[in-house]
Structure 1
């Protein structure tokens, strides 16, 4: 194994080939800056040559910044065996390192380029010579190398023998179609690295069989000097090997190997790329998923409380995150106690049992319970005149008609006294709030200011799916949130508002 592994991030090139993803020039520059200055990867592949004018502008912006800040030798561009064309394109952008895409399997060479190995080697040699003459550092990709090793090893070794005579800085070996299993990765890489000990080999994994991280691990054991990874595992089809997972595995299981990557920055860059790309990160994705440091089972919370029994090496603090304890039907008292403790709330064992029973009941109904719901749940179920539900929305009629303003007729009970009011508004909820304000004005009471209104439905939910409305209020300088859940969006907002009325 090599004592140091170079990390090349290809989010901005291979990762951008994720279906439906296209970064703007400013987004590419921001990601590039973050990867090199904060995440501290060793190199970044930022584009394919000749794609578009927009791509040219993006690469030019990155190289201008990189040259001014001493990173120009870390910026790489994919070029093609097309004579001088793509190399000239790259040179115009100001980039100084090219990753030349060539054929790593006889199958690709024969049926895509329709050339013999000798013809291909000649084309490659001419591209390399031209690049070197222009003071460009050369790395060479062997596209479809993994299939080449399966079906045409003689060709692969013939090609590697040729490349070993060329002024090439690195040879890049991709599992282009994500076909390798770990044992093949080891068995294919090890003899190559032993045969060419002075050549720097990179390994580039894809995740079609969900084996990319296992293959990365085997590549390290085989002795590769570099890895190609992407933020959030972005890439074509099932994507590339994800940066965060690879770094976590290296740091925890390959003690003989080091990288420059700063673990604490991985989650931050993950969220930024998720926002820019619109490529949603699964909540259970290792290291960067929203739920991966959340304990749900009560027995786990209990074990953590007693002696961190359910912790592993993947501590959230390593990645700038914190452990959470979810609330639901499997929570148990220990889980709920952890959340109450974070809120500074202490309950008797009798009251804690009541709260636990209510959360389990809500979980059975598929309701999502959050930490911010706990104060309302407590006030809703404990026998105390100070926290009884004194305000109840008893009835309402919501109307919405074409070319007529929405209106609401509202009936509400305030401490046993009934009020009824009718109002119009710019929407049904606005009309509801206008009627409520009229009633509270009669009572001489002040309502909070609504500062944020968020609506969520389950991804891929049907039209009858539950709708969650979270409203943020400001009441005399104190900000708090209430939540309502219903299949109707306006009704869920009304439920959140009733919670607010009782809280104030």
Structure 2
């Protein structure tokens, strides 16, 4: 069975606090909605403002394949504005709970039905498609709700919609409600859910199983309070989990429209959001990465390509060598097993210190490991620095030189200068000159990796060396020792 999708991102979605779309932005979203196969687009609420009406007119002038609707109250003034915007139809919203009828409209059931029927008559007289949406239907008396629907259908309503306005349905209750309505309602029944209890998608899927043939959604689930039914979660769930149902949506385009709406509304997507969150197809765990590489179905319920995504392996302390090797190959690096394990170990040391390891960090770590293909005469074992406003910067170092440990100390104008002086005062360093010193922070933040590049000279020989660490002093000392080792090898 084919399920129709009405997207209300441009109306209910725009009611997200802080969101206000320009006419051009609305047109861009509407164009993409039509392109990916949305059946019905609620372009706005014509009564809202002259600017809103101009936006709706811009959309209706495009001759989209999708049916274009405007929200409308059961009032002639609202409907006239919809007619002026040249929409195909109206989402005619009529409150049906006693709470809304009594406290909001200050009327009674009989007058409410009369108001609804008159509005439907007026719409049909002007050639509009009518979808009658019962506001607060989930808290309405069932028999009265059914009476409102049947009366509207008798007056020509084309579709009806159950609105769970404050999100109080549960999946079981949703299934039962739609199944009961389906017994007596002959026109298509739609489901419009809100996410106040985090159940909008679950309730929507239950509604489909109960008999709903249309769902209302917003891109990324944006909307008032906790938002509306998530378009991407609902559509993909119908496609992957409900075998007997389908939609007209081009699922491979879902990620593109999700990112578009996030950019234009400024409502960005939490990383762990299903389908479109940045972590939805990201793997760090070594066990998971290994399984994914062997067969993606081991830890993914769908391929990322299905929804326009790409899989990624996250660099961190939980990463195993299989996922790491895959990421290194993506970066154009080939390593042997020993080098791979060393890179993995270095990443875990940094991650244990709370450092987020980026691709840039990975490249630097890998570069350093790949340079280790020789026996060095000198290695740093320990470095201690004392520095302060009233203290001469002092460094003590412990190095291994030709297999023997050597302790030494030095002072300088700063901690880096003191550390280098502590090393180069040893005899083996005395004919080596530091002729250039350069520092770059290669990643953002106060925990950035520091890349120190130096040039050393011994006689007529000049070499470059680098050290990369989160600590500038360690990076400087490692660069210096690496350069000396290179000179000694040469």
Match of 2:100 among 105, 108, 118: 108
Q: Which residue of 1 aligns with 2:91?
A: 99
Indicate conservation of the 8 Å contact 1:468/1:485, yes or no.
yes
Indicate conservation of the 8 Å contact 1:380/1:387, yes or no.
no
Indicate conservation of the 8 Å contact 1:410/1:420, yes or no.
no
Instruction: Work out the CA distance in 2 between the residues paired with 1:306 and 1:254.
Output: 27
Match of 2:326 among 334, 338, 345: 338
Indicate conservation of the 8 Å contact 2:6/2:41, yes or no.
yes
Matched, 1:366 2:354: yes
CA distances 1:343-363 after superposition (whole Å, capped 9, x unpaired): 232222222221111111111
Q: Which residue of 2 aligns with 1:158?
A: 147
The DSSP-based 3-state class of the residue aligned with 2:93 is strand
Cα 1:167/1:230, change in 2 over 3 Å: same
**What 5-or-longer segments of structure 1 have no aligned partner?**
389-393, 395-408, 422-435, 438-446, 457-465, 472-482
Q: Which residue of 2 aligns with 1:442?
A: none
With 350-359 and 307-316 compared, the bigger mean Cα shift is at: 307-316
Listed as ranges, the matches of 1:299-448 within 5 Å are 299-308=287-296, 310-381=298-369, 384=372, 417-418=433-434
Instruction: Work out the CA distance in 2 between the residues paired with 1:15 and 1:306.
Output: 41
Matched, 1:24 2:12: no
Instruction: Work out the CA distance in 2 between the residues paired with 1:56 and 1:470.
Output: 55
Cα 1:269/1:454, change in 2 over 3 Å: farther
Indicate conservation of the 8 Å contact 2:178/2:207, yes or no.
yes
Instruction: Work out the CA distance in 2 between the residues paired with 1:200 and 1:233.
Output: 23
The DSSP-based 3-state class of the residue aligned with 2:299 is coil
Cα 1:417/1:30, change in 2 over 3 Å: farther
Indicate conservation of the 8 Å contact 2:9/2:218, yes or no.
yes
Matched, 1:208 2:201: no
Instruction: Work out the CA distance in 1 between the residues paired with 2:449 and 2:3.
Output: 47
Between structure 1 and structure 2, the one with the greater Rg is 2
By how many angstroms is 1:304 displaced? 2.2
Indicate conservation of the 8 Å contact 1:140/1:172, yes or no.
yes
By how many angstroms is 1:57 displaced? 1.5
CA distances 1:376-429 after superposition (whole Å, capped 9, x unpaired): 1023345637999xxxxx9xxxxxxxxxxxxxx99899x9644689xxxxxxxx
The DSSP-based 3-state class of the residue aligned with 1:219 is helix
Matched, 1:41 2:34: no
Q: Which residue of 1 aligns with 2:9?
A: 11
Match of 2:72 among 64, 79, 87: 79
The DSSP-based 3-state class of the residue aligned with 1:160 is helix
By how many angstroms is 1:470 displaced? 12
Which structure 1 residue ranges, 4+ long, deviate > 6 Å from structure 2? 385-388, 409-413, 483-486
By how many angstroms is 1:258 displaced? 1.7
With 255-264 and 298-307 compared, the bigger mean Cα shift is at: 298-307
Cα 1:377/1:61, change in 2 over 3 Å: same
Indicate conservation of the 8 Å contact 1:354/1:381, yes or no.
yes
Indicate conservation of the 8 Å contact 1:455/1:470, yes or no.
no
Cα 1:468/1:161, change in 2 over 3 Å: farther
Instruction: Work out the CA distance in 2 between the residues paired with 1:386 and 1:343.
Output: 24
Cα 1:127/1:289, change in 2 over 3 Å: same
Instruction: Work out the CA distance in 1 between the residues paired with 2:212 and 2:469.
Output: 54
Q: Which residue of 2 aligns with 1:122?
A: 114
- Number of equivalenced pairs: 422
Instruction: Work out the CA distance in 1 between the residues paired with 2:56 and 2:154.
Output: 31
Instruction: Work out the CA distance in 2 between the residues paired with 1:328 and 1:158.
Output: 59
Instruction: Work out the CA distance in 2 between the residues paired with 1:363 and 1:42.
Output: 48
**What 5-or-longer segments of structure 2 have no aligned partner?**
377-384, 386-413, 421-428, 452-467, 484-490
By how many angstroms is 1:177 displaced? 0.5
- RMSD (Å), alpha carbons: 3.6
CA distances 1:129-186 after superposition (whole Å, capped 9, x unpaired): 22222222211110000111xxx22321332232231110111111110111100001
The DSSP-based 3-state class of the residue aligned with 1:164 is helix
Match of 1:62 among 50, 59, 78: 59
Match of 1:263 among 232, 247, 251: 251
Instruction: Work out the CA distance in 1 between the residues paired with 2:71 and 2:219.
Output: 18
Indicate conservation of the 8 Å contact 1:106/1:155, yes or no.
no
